[in-house]
Structure 1
Amino acid sequence: MSLEQQTQPIAVALIGNPNTGKSTLFNALSGVRQRTGNYPGVTVEKKHGTFRIGEKSIELIDLPGSYSLAPRSPDEMVAVDVLLGRLPAERKPQAVLVILDAGNLERNLYILSQVLELRLPTLVALNMVDVAADKGVTVDAPLLAQRLGVPVIETRANHGAGVQQLREALANIENVPPPESVSPFPPQFREEIAGLQGQLVARDVSAPRYLVERLLLDTSGYLEKELKLGGDDFHQLIQEARGRLKESGAPVPAVEAMSRYGWVRETLDGVIERKPVAPPVSDRIDRVMTHPVSGTIIFAILMLTVFMTVFSDYVAGIPMGWIEGLFETLGGIVGDNMAEGPFRSLIVDGVIAGVGGVLVFLPQICILFFFIAILEDCGYMARAAYLMDRLFSNIGLSGKSFIPLLSSFACAIPGVMATRVIENRRDRLATMLIAPLMSCSARIPVYVVMIAAFVPNIKFAGGLINARGLTFAGMYLVGIVAAVMVAFILKKTLLRGATPPFVMELPSYKWPSLSTVGLRVAEKGWSFVRRAGTLIFASSVLVWAAAYYPHNTEIVAPWTSRLAEVETELETATSAKDEDRIAALEAEQSDLEHHISGALLRDSYLGRAGQWIEPVVRPLGWDWRIGCATLASFPAREVIIGTLGVIYDLGGDEDEESIPLREKLQAATWDGTDIPVFNLPVALSVMVFFALCAQCAATLAVIKRETNTWRWPIFTFVYMTLLAYVGAFAIYRIAAFFTTTPIVSV
């Protein structure tokens, strides 16, 4: 063995069916020494972990949970490519750790039979033996190891039982010989594989036997198109082989299931002992949890709890307030200790404000994934998907899309990240692309300002219902209806394909592992900060630059001159302790500063851009000031409130509760006229635009991270912006017609 081989960690791939405790075991083995990313060109996440035992270092490669190594898409191909060493950026594993659920061996051994054919040193973790025992199932682990020809170690990953023994076995995995190559397929199938391999050798093409088997078994044609082995005439040879197998009673692809499950039955003969027990607790609980009525009520209560907690001022709101306050304080300290100029503005308004704008989302993301991790680990998430499947199947999605979409009402960022629970690539993409249409918390300031200022407070039903509340609810409905329509269109066009049958195992209920939950929350939080944070920070700096430059101080000379006088008078009044004079001068100082910042913004590149686009936004009822504030809000929607405050000389500290801002908006007129800028149709137009537009750089960054390409975030931005424009135009014209408001033509 070379020195390099001696110093490199032993690479071990982890594979197993979903709900076998694979993630829990991975976390138990590697602890916090983990790193995540995406495989190039696919949405599948790769996760690596390491641990040391004695002088040896083990690197764990956590492969996606799967029921079979039969790839039909790029995402499903990842596990096969990793195991065969076909990914340039990934080391070929020196061994494989297969995780089996002791209570479901009949199904779990299917994928193990495929792994054994790869002839890599293999270790089996027989997990959840305690859950199996509760079901009356006892497994003879030594006999199973003898039948399989590989070591078998019993574990209870959520309690840490057997983990140390597994570590020791992995440290000695190099001494475990590869399993004997015993194919479960009938002789005629093996002969056809040998013939196809001979044809490839004649063409100077080298391919592992396993891939040749998959080529013959894959009737979808995906692998032939992906691998391009043997030239154009090789397809005909595969078709002829399938025809001969059909005639011999071993039709493709049914021959695989028949052969492998036949092998499973032989292997488990005498290995499993079943004792009659009372119906499992999980079954009794599921009579309530999956019932169409009681299950839906419980589901609604749980989801409302999750949603309200993520959205709560008393839970997520408190740490979010701390983060906002911390960065405001930091900005104030830095600003007070730096000389006036572009560098101070960059640091305070660009860098510090940009970082704060990223980290303020972190509490919501951590809280959401805390709940998701608990619901997944205890076994409830599968029940939630089951309950929602009937509803979502009508628009071409599965029940698993519900949790990500519900999460997006608080923030689309964790909603997009939560789509990882959806295995089907098309469903996952469709859910990801409509998640930003859910009205997130960042849109609420816009709704509050516009509704409070321009929607009449008309009440119905004895005051129980009012027009403002209906308008607020209507904005949420706009996003939901648009999401349904877009999902339906996507599944009929770009993501066309039959909705896969909803097949999901309902795992046994169990207490969640606090270490697994904690690691998952930490992983998702850090992943957001590291990946999405960089882009939203960069976009914040770019918006700062557009709003700061060219910074022509000559246009504000009268105000700056008076400001200098006020500051001198303020020092005199302070020395004289003239409280009334101090208050008046401070108010004038603040007013002058607001006039200066407003004038500079109107003259900035951002302000000029708002004036350039006025012909484009005028059909929506907007003037250049609304256009300018909207441009500034593309990195993050809530920026519009502060930008409007600056534009209307109130400063950038205004929020949705600001009475002066509402009064300024109500009094605003089109330049050179006495025609009001804002009215009910314009307010509705602004709200609909913000309800449908993709104004969140962090969300687009996360979509890029999850899809590993810029194609989908660009598509999301374009389609949502066009949809928002059309929606705002339509609501403005309709509202103007019904309220007899003149259409703006200035």
Structure 2
Amino acid sequence: MKPAPGAREPPRLAVPKNIALVGNPNSGKTTIFNALTGLRQKVANYPGVTIEKKIGFFFDLHGRKCQLIDLPGTYSLLPSAPDEEITCEVLFGARPDTPAPDAVICVIDATHLERSLYLVAQVLDLGLPAIVALNMMDLLEEGGSHVDVAALSARLGCPVIPCQASKRKGLTELRAALSLQTSWAGPICRRLPEAVEEALSRITADFPEAKVERRALCSLVLGAPDPRRLAELLAVTHLLPSLEREQQRLEKELPDWRQQTIAMRQGQIRALLAGVFREPRVMTGSATDWLDRWVTHPFWGWVIFLGIMGAMFLAVFQMGAGPKDAINGLFSALAAKIDKLLPAGDLRDLLTHGVIGGAGNVIVFLPQILVLFFFLGLLEESGYMARAAFLMDKLMSRVGLQGRAFIPLLASHACAIPGILSARTLSDPRDRMVTILVAPFASCSARLPVYVLMIAAFFGGGRSAGIAEAGIVMALYLLGLAAAFGFAWIFKRSLFRGRPAPLVLELPPYRRPSLRVIATQMLFRAGAFLRRAGTTIVAISVILWWLTAYPKTTGGDRAAQLAGSFAGQIGHWIEPVIRPLGFNWKIGIGLLSAQAARENFVSTMGVLYAGQPDPEGKAGPVSLSRALLADRWPDGRPVFTPLVCVTILLFFVFSLQCVSTVVTVRRETGSWRWAFFQFGYMTLFAYTISLAVYQAGRAFGF
């Protein structure tokens, strides 16, 4: 296709080194990114997964190394949220840390072809060399539709590659298209409303050098809600006075000129698709529509939601208990073997009490964490998470947030850091700030080992009914969400006043979850968990062991050694602060170590209670939960009563114990003030609730 008369000749792509990956949210960009680069970015069937640019490398068919940049999803090049600004900055070459792309891969959802081509049209209007990856072709064909790929490629003037990224179909053809030395054509939406065309003519008349080079850019800035910010991104601030003058004139002469511009672009896209795209002749209610009638129902939707959550937590205990016990047995056997091989001394104690007692007691929870991630992966891949956000919209609006803010809260159940980062998808800065401040209330996977340990101690250290355990964990997760909603309500009526934005959220079709993708994500998370256990947790466990082993006491047992050690001295120093919660100095040391990462509480307890005798006098290795039950106050009272276990659980539900989260909040808000405010109010709230529950329980004789 030849460029339109007067249009800028698009650049020739000889050696594509930097390639940007763009597309609508939930179009499959990250799946293609992972397939091309071999990396393991998070993939899910709901919008807002990619919240900052990701960079990987691959080789084209000529063996040339290419850098691939996965950009946040956007529906247009008019940014309304920080994540969309990242996409625009990279495409426009406005980021000093990222080179301007030599080519753009536009990933579009074949089942939403007309809507997806709006972004493609804007990319081509800018003269950027592009390849269109027509993803999800299998879903298009299953629905009875058809696309003439060759005709679409001819009309767009650029290569169009049909793909099924989840099954790695079309990737070779995509690499081949990137390997070709070719030039790609320019704009497909050449006419705008007459009044807009006249405004652009007056702007380019004032600045002749912008007549060809900047026409498409000027058109973008002219239609932007915040033209000054977009003009800075596009480096056309010298045109800003003319742009603002013409924007004001259009507002007076043609108030709906933006809507007319969008409608005309959409009309040109429909004309381009005429004869290329065939929809099914008979449109009937789909399985997605039938399921949504139940899943998003005001009553049955909640029943289904709670049922799914309950089943997930029950599976965590029922399916994860056997592998957990097996791993625990292996570590116990390893510790016994070391006891036999090495003579008594610091080295043997370091290995058995420090490394195995610390990191080992955290690793045993890996099966249950993986079961949790497996079911979360099923929900994400199937498309249910978007329905959960839709279901929550009414509740979220009552606390002052839009329903879309529930997506960062959902992401925080895996880890608070990606949850906080995904708040970038919220266009309202007040909603974004409130979401960041309350996101850590969602119980992340690092809390799960603490929950499981305390629940086991609550039930006497033995195997309990899985339904009871699952019910308690589900209650803790819901309690965290309730706290998030409560403080969001407070913040939206005090620090960040404002009405919630209406929910605009695409409900993707239900899809058959890819077990390969879920398994890949589970392996990636297992590797990350084991790396953390093998580095950070081992390091903290070794340091803690040293603090418990020195200075040496003479003529005393292990209890006397602990009490007189550096750790004991630190613990007794902070014990007056935590004693009103029912916590002794050992629990206090655990709370201090948990500031680095919550699961460190378990490893700390493993080090402090290593070698503890079984409370019932049984021989052989004792589990950590039963070792906790053997601990006593000086007057002989048990330390870990059911009331104390509940108090510890509540403290971990509400407190912020993660240095990485604090640093992330500082980066996202641009201020340590908000990071320290979040840490302070969450810690104070956790302490207050724990104090009230423990003292009330004591008053009632528990």
- TM-score (ref. length: structure 1): 0.73
Q: Distance in 2 between matches of 1:650 and 1:396?
A: 51
Change (3 A) 1:367 1:230: same
| Equivalent residue number for residue 609 of structure 1 | 570
- Deviation for aligned residue 1:307: 2.5
| Equivalent residue number for residue 548 of structure 2 | 547
| Equivalent residue number for residue 680 of structure 2 | 718
Counterparts of 1:270-419 in structure 2, within 5 Å, are 270-279=275-284, 280-309=286-315, 311-312=316-317, 314-330=318-334, 349-350=353-354, 355-356=359-360, 359-397=363-401, 412-414=413-415, 417=418
Q: Does 1:240 align with 2:245?
A: yes
| Equivalent residue number for residue 517 of structure 2 | 516
Determine helix, strand or coil for the equivalent of 1:543: helix
Determine helix, strand or coil for the equivalent of 1:510: coil
Partner residue of 1:18 out of 25, 48, 70: 25
Structure 1 counterpart of 2:375, one-letter code = F
Q: Distance in 2 between matches of 1:7 and 1:346?
A: 60
CA contact (8 A) 1:13 1:63 kept: yes
- Deviation for aligned residue 1:520: 3.3
CA contact (8 A) 2:127 2:185 kept: yes
CA contact (8 A) 1:623 1:677 kept: yes
Q: Distance in 2 between matches of 1:387 and 1:88?
A: 41
Q: Distance in 1 between matches of 2:637 and 2:359?
A: 40
Determine helix, strand or coil for the equivalent of 1:599: helix
Determine helix, strand or coil for the equivalent of 1:276: coil
1:530-577 per-position Cα deviation (integer Å, ceiling 9, x unaligned) = 5797544544444344334xx122x2x224xxxxxxxxxxxxxxxxxx
Determine helix, strand or coil for the equivalent of 2:577: helix
- Deviation for aligned residue 1:397: 4.7
1:330-371 per-position Cα deviation (integer Å, ceiling 9, x unaligned) = 556567666766666556555555554664454344433333
Change (3 A) 1:436 1:184: farther
Change (3 A) 1:302 1:505: same
Q: Does 1:85 align with 2:60?
A: no
Structure 1 counterpart of 2:680, one-letter code = V
Determine helix, strand or coil for the equivalent of 1:613: helix
| Equivalent residue number for residue 485 of structure 2 | 484
Structure 1 counterpart of 2:229, one-letter code = L
CA contact (8 A) 1:437 1:483 kept: no
Q: Distance in 1 between matches of 2:638 and 2:155?
A: 84
1:376-412 per-position Cα deviation (integer Å, ceiling 9, x unaligned) = 333333333333333343334555666886797xxx5
- Deviation for aligned residue 1:230: 8.0
Give the number of aligned pairs.
663
Q: Distance in 1 between matches of 2:363 and 2:675?
A: 21
Change (3 A) 1:528 1:318: same
- Deviation for aligned residue 1:95: 1.0
Q: CA RMSD in A?
A: 4.9
Q: Distance in 1 between matches of 2:541 and 2:676?
A: 18
Q: Distance in 1 between matches of 2:29 and 2:18?
A: 17
Q: Distance in 1 between matches of 2:75 and 2:398?
A: 26
- Deviation for aligned residue 1:253: 4.7
Q: Distance in 1 between matches of 2:207 and 2:330?
A: 65
CA contact (8 A) 2:450 2:602 kept: yes
Change (3 A) 1:478 1:164: closer
Which ranges of structure 2 fall in alignment gaps of 5 or more residues? 1-12, 44-49, 427-431, 462-467
CA contact (8 A) 1:43 1:707 kept: no
Determine helix, strand or coil for the equivalent of 2:319: coil
Determine helix, strand or coil for the equivalent of 1:18: coil
Partner residue of 2:224 out of 218, 222, 227: 218
Determine helix, strand or coil for the equivalent of 2:76: coil
| Equivalent residue number for residue 563 of structure 1 | none
Counterparts of 1:663-742 in structure 2, within 5 Å, are 664-665=631-632, 668-669=634-635, 686=648, 688-695=650-657, 716-735=678-697
- Deviation for aligned residue 1:656: 6.4
- Deviation for aligned residue 1:112: 0.9
- Deviation for aligned residue 1:94: 1.5
| Equivalent residue number for residue 460 of structure 1 | none
Structure 2 counterpart of 1:429, one-letter code = I
Partner residue of 1:638 out of 570, 592, 602: 602
Counterparts of 1:649-660 in structure 2, within 5 Å, are 655=623, 658=626
Q: Distance in 1 between matches of 2:510 and 2:646?
A: 47
Deviates more, 1:722-731 or 1:489-498: 489-498
- Deviation for aligned residue 1:171: 1.8
Structure 1 counterpart of 2:100, one-letter code = K
Change (3 A) 1:115 1:54: same
- Deviation for aligned residue 1:107: 0.9
Q: Distance in 2 between matches of 1:134 and 1:224?
A: 40
Deviates more, 1:65-74 or 1:479-488: 479-488
CA contact (8 A) 1:36 1:48 kept: no
Change (3 A) 1:141 1:690: closer
- Deviation for aligned residue 1:177: 2.8
- TM-score (ref. length: structure 2): 0.77
Change (3 A) 1:357 1:225: farther
CA contact (8 A) 2:590 2:602 kept: no
| Equivalent residue number for residue 424 of structure 1 | 425
| Equivalent residue number for residue 94 of structure 1 | 102
Q: Does 1:122 align with 2:88?
A: no
Q: Distance in 2 between matches of 1:369 and 1:675?
A: 39
CA contact (8 A) 2:157 2:184 kept: no
Which of the pair has more CA radius of gyration?
1
CA contact (8 A) 1:71 1:223 kept: no
- Deviation for aligned residue 1:82: 2.0
- Percent identity of equivalent pairs: 34
Q: Distance in 2 between matches of 1:661 and 1:532?
A: 22
Deviates more, 1:530-539 or 1:515-524: 530-539
Q: Distance in 1 between matches of 2:669 and 2:360?
A: 26
Q: Distance in 1 between matches of 2:92 and 2:622?
A: 59
CA contact (8 A) 1:437 1:691 kept: no
Change (3 A) 1:472 1:271: closer
Counterparts of 1:6-45 in structure 2, within 5 Å, are 10-30=17-37, 32=38, 44=52
| Equivalent residue number for residue 592 of structure 1 | none
Counterparts of 1:463-612 in structure 2, within 5 Å, are 479-492=480-493, 498-529=499-530, 534-548=535-549, 551-553=550-552, 555=553, 557-559=554-556, 595-596=557-558, 598-612=559-573
Structure 2 counterpart of 1:600, one-letter code = Q
